[in-house]
Amino acid sequence: MFFAYVTFVLATVRLVVHSHGCKDYDLSASDQLLIDMMKHYLHTSRKDECTPQNKTLNTGVTYIRWGKTSCPKGVDMVYTGQVGGTYYSYRGGGVNYLCLPNDPENGQHQSYDNDQIHGGEYQLSSSMKPSGWSASMDNKEVPCSVCYQKRRSAVLMIPGRKTCYKGWNSEYNGYLMSSHKGHFKSDYACVDKNAEPLDDKNGEESGALFYPIRTKCSNLRCPPYTNEADVLCVVCTTTNV
């Protein structure tokens, strides 16, 4: 009702202006006020059609789902592959795990001695494995998938939790894994709670190793943490930034 009224008044003002004989006609203060009211109404009523929401629709985030050959339901998969990284006993090289695609475009053969990209393997046993996992995955290669979640603007891995905080959406949850404390350092990875092997091949070839880790209460505050417990993790996304 207000929109129709203002439109009518504005049209009337324009009609009066155009029909007036004087070329230098100036709008009165009341006429200008009506025009300003109309501009303000259009600006406030259509602000939801403008940038923030529409920009969000065209954005997205990527994350790696460690331990799985697929992405969560409703999430696009960029590619699937296998985990790679430097050999666990090498002093140099990168510390982060890599998600290597299954359809690589290989470079030329080289003879120099700096091989750093090895496959990743689970390191498990009956006494050292996350709850619910089978020791049969020991020495199996680790798969991974790069996932693209549309209409999200931020992604975050939270260690020590299996659920996201308010305003964040869970992509997947699992167990925090890394190299053994007696080896050289590597990255922490959130491995899916329902992790699977890359294939059925089984051979201890080492490489970039994935060990389950646990907490140690000393200067780590217990509570709220618990001594010698699995470290959970969750990958979360949000549009609220």
**Which pLDDT score, from 0 to 100, does residue 82 have?**
95
Q: Is the pLDDT of residue 222 over 90?
A: no
Q: Compute the average pLDDT of residues 199-210.
A: 78
Average pLDDT, the chain: 82
**Which pLDDT score, from 0 to 100, does residue 65 have?**
97
| Four-residue CA torsion sign, 41, 45, 50, 55 | positive
The tens digit of pLDDT for each residue in 117-136 reads: 899 999 998 888 888 898 88
The tens digit of pLDDT for each residue in 31-72 reads: 677 777 777 766 666 655 555 555 555 689 999 999 999 999
CA atoms of 121 and 137, how far apart (whole Å): 9
Q: Compute the average pLDDT of residues 181-208.
A: 85
Q: What is the 3-state secondary structure (H, E, C) of the chain?
A: CHHHHHHHHHHHHHHHHHHCCCCCCCCCHHHHHHHHHHHHHHHHHCHHHCHHHHHHHCCEEEEEEECCCCCCCCCEEEEEEEEEECCCCCCCCCCCCEEEECCCCCCCCCCCCCCCCEEEEECCECCECCCCCCHHHCCCECEEEEEEEECCCEEEEEECCCCCCCCCEEEEEEEEEECCCCCCCCCCEEEECCCCCCCCCCCCCCCEEEEECECCCCCCCCCCCCCCCECEEEEEEECCC
Q: Is the pLDDT of residue 19 over 60?
A: no
pTM of the model: 0.73
Confidence of residue 74 (pLDDT cuts 50, 70, 90): very high
**Which pLDDT score, from 0 to 100, does residue 25 have?**
55
Q: At what angle do helices 29-45 and 2-19 cross, to 10 degrees?
A: 140
Q: Is the pLDDT of residue 196 over 80?
A: yes
Q: Give every CB contact of residue 197 below 8 A, 6+ residues apart in sequence.
A: 122, 137, 140, 141, 142, 143
